[in-house]
Amino acid sequence: MKLISWNVNGLRACIGKGFLDFAAGSGADMICLQETKLQPEQAVFDLPGYRRYFNSADKKGYSGTAVLTREEPLSVAYDFGSDLHRHEGRLITAEYPAFYLVCCYTPNAQDELKRIDYRMAWEDDLRAYLMELDGKKPVVYCGDLNVAHEEIDLKNPGPNRGRAGFSDQEREKMTALLQSGFCDTFRTLYPDTVKYSWWSYRFRAREKNAGWRIDYFIVSRRLMDAVTDADILTDVYGSDHCPVSLTLQI
């Protein structure tokens, strides 16, 4: 079973840059998207074989997630927790016989960490939600999680320390999640490999490979034995992020 996650930074724009050809040729059973930036009625495209589930923000042209899946889920839930977390279209949970698939677009802490208080509340509440799911069946949690966990996960850790995506607070929340019974699949399989999944559009960052690894597949620890590969598809363009993939033997 192959899964792909990609922050497309505007699905309609990404479609114009080859998304449909990529998706059709990917061989993926499930494709999770973040930052779709559209309402469901705007999702007009031809991708045979995939059922489509969209979660859109109240604010048009902002945030949003989607799950495209060949296998019909047992159930699908949108958002989680209190009303606080139910306005930006950031989460979709699809239940399958063997696991829960959680597609997530984590809130950015923003410049000068203006939104760090909300980000911390989100992290605590989402961790509790994932642990609740994990108590029922294993979890596959993926998406743009907006944090580079360790120094190996970004090109320039020194100048970026304390900034959004590499603040101590955000990194500590990722550590707390992993200590709660979950594994970062790519880093578990490839502890010393340097690969990035996001590059700024500025300063020719992608050309210089001055990037960050902020897109993840995280799984329940007991599911890690079923993981046969996790990859970062750096040769795929169409967004300022590239897709990440997970292969499971289930």
Residues with catalytic roles: 105, 144
DSSP per position, 100-133: EEEEEEPPP--GGGTTHHHHHHHHHHHHHHHHHH
Matching residue, tokens 């469901």: 40
C-alpha dist (Å) from residue 46 to 9, 15, 21, 176, 202: 19, 10, 10, 40, 32
How many CA within 13 A on the CB side of residue 234? Answer: 14
| 3-state SS assignment for residue 20 | helix
What pairs with residue 231 in β-bridges? Answer: 245
Residue among 54, 233, 64, 216 nearest 142 (CA)? 216
Backbone angles phi, psi at 247, to 5 degrees: -120, 125
Neighbours of 21 (CB within 10 A): 11
How many CA within 13 A on the CB side of residue 6? Answer: 27
Neighbours of 211 (CB within 10 A): 25
